[in-house]
Every structure is written in structure tokens, then in C-alpha cells.
Structure 1
Amino acid sequence: MTTDTDSATGEPTLTIDELAARAGITVRTVRFYGTKGLIPPPVIGPRRVGHYGPGHLARLNLIEELQHQGMTLAAIERYMEQLPADLSHHDLAIHRAVVASWAPDTVETVTPQELRRRAGRALSEEDVARLTAMGIVRPEGDAFRVDSGLLRLAVRLLDVPLSQEAILAAREVMIEHSRAAARELSRLFRSEVSERAEEDVKSLSAHMQPIVVQALLTTFQRSLREEVHQWLTGSEEGRPA
């Protein structure tokens, strides 16, 4: 396994306490996963302090999603062993997205302390306001109604250098186009199974759903990479020599 590093310094950025806080678990759990080989060992720095990078956090987030799906520790170990050792934290996030797509919609009422624990970090009043504007959190008296499936993603967006307006506009774009794709695919599949028995329809749905989710994620990832490349290439070509 490789250890991801900070792009600016070339070194892992988190202590084990910071990693545990970001992942919303205990230091003891981090160490346990390390002994099981579920996360790579830290890079040992000055004073024999272990340092962790984005790849460690991405693996812990993936493990959390697998647990939410009801997988046993042994099953999680088998799943993680099958992953290529050189996966970047971006690739691991794609795997987590695929796993999370099978989780049922979960909206829960939690205390402020539990909200911070699940977020894996302290949340200022401004942070909570932004999460509320995204539709992820809704204050309810002394507690919060939380969309658990999207909370971690929304928390990561808090550190993205985009305005609240841009984030909300991006959310609307994704919702609009994902719904349009779902409608078109549903129409296509309905035409294929309109004359088939009910059991055949259920079987097709069960087989196609994971394929479609993986295809959409992969296609979007490649399309986004191409768009960013064209954008950066165009920007470089437009600069004066």
C-alpha cells in the first residue's frame, strides 16, 4: 500500500489523533485497523511520531460505509484485500460512493455533540448554517435532523474554496441531470421488459442497478477529468509567452 502525502510538503499531514477525529472513530480503532492491515502503516517522522495522509482517511471512510452495509469484519478484510494497492484517495472515494449508493435514505435526529462526532471535526455556527443551506442539516429545537448518507460529503465541501451559491448551483445541476438520466434509463428498461413476467423484471432490476451505478460514476469521473484537462490546456494556451 502507498501512503498519500500533502501535495505542498510531500509529507503525511495527520497525527493518529487527528486522523481518528476526522474519521469519527477512536484512536484505538485506528490502531486495530492497522494491525488488521486495513490501512497502511504511518510514516514515522521526528520524535517517532506517526503521520497519516489522505489515503488513510479515505480507507477509513470506505470501511465505515462497508460497516453501514452490514458487512462483517472478515468480509471487510476480504473486500479491502481485493483493492489495488496503489489506489489514490480519489479512487477510494469512488469506491465509497458505489458502496454508499446501496444504503437506504437515512435521516436521523442527533444531538449537537453527535453531529460533530459524525462530521469528524468541530463545526462553527457558519459551518452549520452552510450545511443547513445545502439541505443536509436542519435544526430542530436543541437537536438536528441530519441526512447521514450525505453528511461527510457536505463536510468536505466546507473546505472547498467555492462560494455557497456555487455549491448550491452545482447541487441543482447534479440533481437535475441525475434525475434526467434515471428517467431515460428507466424508460429504456421498461420498454425491454414490458412483455416479460414480473420475476424477470425484478431480476433485471437487481442485476442492472449496480452496473448502472458503476457506469454512471465511471463515466462522470472520466468526463469531468476531460473537462478539467481541456479547461487547463485552454488556459495555458491563452497565456502570453
Structure 2
Amino acid sequence: MTTTDADEPALTIDELAARAGVTVRTVRFYSSRGLLPPPVIGPRRVGHYGGDHLARLALIEEMQHQGMTLAAIERHLRQLPPDLSPHDLAVHRAVVASWAPESLETVSRRELGRRAGRPLTDEDVERLAAMDVVARAGEDAFRVDSGLLRLGVEMLDVPLSQETVLAARTTLIEHARAAAHELSGLLRDAVAERDTRDVKSLSAHMHPLVVQALLTTFQRSLREELREWVDTARAEDGAPGDRAPGDAPSA
């Protein structure tokens, strides 16, 4: 397999379709509508696709899963900055997925691998179960939350131990529940005197907005924390470029 840059593996159209869990025909259709950027043309005029194509396909499929029309999907993608990274696209997909109620399905091990877009080892399935993405429901049956499956599969490739991933998940759940409790209290007090139908309507409109706000705030806060961590490490190591303004270079 070739690469489009030093870090990102390049996929043929067949490999891209397999990883995304769609058909080659679907990839070509989306490309013809401008929903996917053109591939990088390599030797022998073979097109190669990368992580941004995979992330955009996942976002498109998620929007379709939520019942959005093709025209609505096109409008949504046109509003996104053209240089979004796969990570940024994954954040958008998480927001879209959050609009839908939790949906658990029971599937076979073979179907689980097909939906994951890649073969799953026994260890992979155990890690997904530990993250509450899947749960065994029989000899060859698993209950799976389709909205979480793609994110869970991506977590399998994160170079962290399972203990660290689970500890991070516990931390996120605790803080998310605390935020949800406080926000629901504020909203409950704000609509205490309103009709039940008004409360339901407000909840439906507020849900995606609150999720987007939480994701954006968390993303910015995490970026600031990581930048501070990296800057501190560089300063401790005496890395070049960390001199204070006005310091003279050493002879």
C-alpha cells in the first residue's frame, strides 16, 4: 500500500469502500456529486484515498442514517471548511449521531465485522465490550449501538492501553453527567411554568445545540491543555524555539 503523505495510509477505492462499509458504486456516486474530494492520482493513474475521505464517508452515512436527504447533506457539507481534518469530521459526525435516540440492534459476529468495516479479533470484541459499544447476546449474537460502533472501532487504533482508555471513559462520563444534571436543572427552572408541549419542543431544539457547544468547548479546552503540556515539556528539555523574547542566542 502506498501513502499520500508520511503518516496517512493511501487506500484504493476498493479498500476505501471496504473500510467505510459501503460499495464502490456508492463511493463513485458521492464523488460525482462533489461530496468527496478527488483522490490523489498515483502510478498507473490509480486514485488513492486517505483518512479525510474515510471520515467524510462516515459523516455522510451517519447523516443518511438520521434521515437527511441528499440535498440536505450537500448543503451541510458545503457549509463546512474544506480543510477539516479527519478528527474534526469525526466531531461533526458525533454531533449528528447525538441527535438520534439510542438504538441497540442484535447482530451476528460476521455482521458486526461488516459494520465495523474491518475484521475484528476476539481481543477487539472484548475491548469494544469493555467500552460498552457491544454486549454479547448469545453464542453468535451481539447487541451493538450503531451510533457508537464507528467511534469504538477508531478507539481500537489509539496507542493507549485498555486500562487508560477505560479510565478516560470513566472520567468523561462522570463530568458529562454532572454537566447534564446542571444544564437540565437550569432548563427545568426556565420552563417550569410552560406547557408540556413547549417543554418537549424546547428539548428537541436544545439537544443538538447543547451537544455542539459541549463538544466545541471540550475540544478547545483539550487543545489548550495539550499545548500547555507540550510547551512545558519543550521548555524542560531546552528545545530550540523556546527562548524568551529578547534572549540572545548562545555563542
Structure 1 counterpart of 2:172: 174
* Aligned partners of 1:68 and 1:103 also within 8 Å: no
- Aligned pairs for 1:44-63 (under 5 A) are 44-63=41-60
Structure 1 counterpart of 2:135: 138
Structure 1 counterpart of 2:22: 25
The amino acid that maps onto 2:54 is L
For 2:187 and 2:208, the matched residues in 1 are separated by 14
Q: Deviations over 1:123-175 (max 9, x none)?
A: 11111121122221222211211121111111111111100101111111111
User: Which has the higher Rg, Structure 1 or Structure 2?
Assistant: 2
Q: Decide which of 35, 39, 56 is 1:38's aligned counterpart.
A: 35
Pair 1:154–1:88, CA change in 2 (3 A)? same
Identity %: 70
1:21 offset after TM fit, Å? 1.2
Q: Secondary structure at the match of 1:238?
A: helix
* Aligned partners of 1:24 and 1:117 also within 8 Å: yes
Matched, 1:158 2:153: no
Q: Secondary structure at the match of 1:41?
A: coil
Structure 2 counterpart of 1:209: 207
Q: Deviations over 1:179-225 (max 9, x none)?
A: 11000001111111222333432333233222211110100000000
Structure 2 counterpart of 1:128: 125
For 1:173 and 1:11, the matched residues in 2 are separated by 30
Structure 1 counterpart of 2:242: none
Structure 1 counterpart of 2:183: 185
1:31 offset after TM fit, Å? 1.0
Structure 2 counterpart of 1:238: 236
Q: Secondary structure at the match of 1:9?
A: coil
1:74 offset after TM fit, Å? 2.5
Pair 1:64–1:8, CA change in 2 (3 A)? same
Q: Secondary structure at the match of 2:55?
A: helix
For 2:158 and 2:4, the matched residues in 1 are separated by 16
More deviation in 204-213 or 19-28? 204-213
For 2:80 and 2:88, the matched residues in 1 are separated by 10
Structure 2 counterpart of 1:225: 223
Number of residues of Structure 1 aligned to a counterpart in Structure 2: 237
Q: Which runs of 4+ in 1 moved over 6 A?
A: none
Matched, 1:104 2:123: no
1:112 offset after TM fit, Å? 1.6
* Aligned partners of 2:134 and 2:143 also within 8 Å: yes
1:226 offset after TM fit, Å? 0.4
Q: Secondary structure at the match of 2:19?
A: helix
Which structure 2 segments of 5+ residues have no match?
240-251
For 2:171 and 2:12, the matched residues in 1 are separated by 37
The amino acid that maps onto 1:76 is I
* Aligned partners of 1:12 and 1:43 also within 8 Å: no
Pair 1:123–1:10, CA change in 2 (3 A)? closer
Q: Decide which of 16, 29, 33 is 2:13's aligned counterpart.
A: 16
For 2:148 and 2:83, the matched residues in 1 are separated by 26
Which structure 1 segments of 5+ residues have no match?
none
